Amino acid sequence: MELNFGLQNILFLAAFGVAIYFFSKNFGKIWRNINLGKDVNRSDRPKERWALMARVALGQSKMVKRRAVAGFFHVLIYVGFILINIEVAEILIDGILGTHRVFMPLLGPVYDAAISFFEILALLVIVACIVFLFRRNVSVVPRFKDLKGWAKKDGNYILFIELVLMFALLLLGATEANIEGNHVDGWIVSAQLAPLFSGLDQGTLIMMERAAWWFHILGIFAFLNYLPYSKHFHVIMAFPNVWHSKLEPSGQFSNMESVKKEVELMMDPNADPFAAPAEDAAEEPSRFGAKDVMDLNRIQLMNAYSCTECGRCTASCPANQTGKKLSPRKIMMDTRDRLSEVSNVIDELGQFEDDGRTLLDDFISREELWACTTCNACTEACPVNIDPMSIIVDMRRYLVMEESAANPSLNTMMTNIENNAAPWAYAQADRANWINE
């Protein structure tokens, strides 16, 4: 292994350091924002959680469940992303140590086979990116139609960046194949592309090879720092997000411990209403339900950063399909947008101070909340186990318990339960009247 440390390596180390510094800073901010949420225990049954993460996040099982074509191309990009990173690891080592293809002499023929595999993968990723760009911009699939502004641009930028990075990787091999003294004959795609550059002189080829190398790695550094601003952050967050999935049956609601205690007290004829609260008694929450993002729990906030904006939830939502003003994808995007707004206030003032805005009303309307049928189809459809319904339910809890602002039809039902012990507007004595008919 020949070490050749020089100005290039100093520049590389500087670029690497800057990229890692800014990424860590932004990642730290997102972690802080997630921790603004309420504590929730989602670390029980670890074996089940690891298995779930392996199946859903690593194995992409929900991606191919219903939309096989989109799922297949997504898996291609995902596998390409993971495996091509092995080559990126080599580029990093070369950049730091001043070596050239440091793994090549160590791995021999295995190296050639691996590079050939990466190159084929890069070609397939290019095809997948073109298909996705087509689906987003030309023959727009219905679930992308309501993506406008930044959300639409973000999806396109990511695909474009991936395209360019893959082209740079292929250009690297193709130019290298023509440089004297290099042994790259066994690289399948490079060998096919090499004749395109065979007429160039050695100086130009070396310059092109170096340009492709730098472009590729600087592009990756830039991409890394773009992630925290993009829905593409899910490539990182999908793993902890799936690990922290709700393992109970998806329709099971969480009890509010303090309210449950109150009800138990009311139902127990022997309870002493003036007794001092037990030491392990649940504290009364500062707010019932959720009005703003800080009232949600940490997993719900992590959900917001894990959303891929794919729209599978909205496409499965019966409320959305029947023309109601509800999109579970929008619920997640709104939660993330509000959290970013809160984050900016904290960055500016050192702590959060009321900015006169809340997730409720400023981002998510009451009409949207009451349009939900709580069917759970959104959670079921989500490829990374996000639970938009839990946010809707918590915000409804706030409306009912803090503002007594339930939907009018619900108010009628609750009054009936209170008066008649049933949701219908009949006196208890009339309940069996239907038998007479």
- Which string of DSSP letters, residue by residue, matches 80-116? HHHHHHHHHHHHHHHHHHT-SSTTHHHHTHHHHHHHH
One of 52, 171, 172, 332 touching ligand SF4 (CB under 6 A):
332
Per CB under 6 A, the list member of 115, 299, 381, 399 interacting with ligand SF4 is 381
Q: Which position among 63, 115, 169, 386 is part of the footprint of ligand SF4 (CB under 6 A)?
A: 386
Is residue 372 a contact residue for ligand SF4 (CB under 6 A)? yes
Does position 376 interact with ligand SF4 (CB under 6 A)? The reply is yes
Site map 263..302 versus ligand SF4, x via CB under 6 A: ----------------------------------------
Q: Which of 216, 291, 312, 336 binds ligand SF4 (CB under 6 A)?
A: 312
For residue 394, give both structure tokens: 């918590």
CA atoms of 295 and 274, how far apart (whole Å): 29
Least separation, in Å, of the C-beta of 330 and ligand SF4?
A: 9
Q: Does 74 bind ligand SF4 (CB under 6 A)?
A: no
Contact 87, 169 (CB under 8 A): yes
Is residue 251 within 8 A of residue 376, CB to CB? The reply is yes
Q: Is 328 in the site for ligand SF4 (CB under 6 A)?
A: yes
The verdict on 389 binding ligand SF4 (CB under 6 A) reads: yes
- Between CA 321 and CA 217 the distance in angstroms is 44
Separation between Cα atoms, residue 416 and residue 432, nearest integer Å: 17
What number of chain residues touch ligand SF4 (CB under 6 A)?
28
Q: CA angle at residue 53 from 50 to 57, to 5 degrees?
A: 160
Contact range with ligand SF4 by CB under 6 A, out of 14-22, 312-320, 341-349, 419-427: 312-320
Q: Does 307 bind ligand SF4 (CB under 6 A)?
A: yes
List the one residue from 204, 255, 373, 411 that touches ligand SF4 (CB under 6 A): 373
**394 contacts ligand SF4 (rule: CB under 6 A):** no
Distance separating alpha carbons of residues 414 and 419, to the nearest angstrom: 9
| Residue pair 325/368 in contact by the 8 Å Cβ criterion | yes
Q: Token pair of 342, please?
A: 């809160």
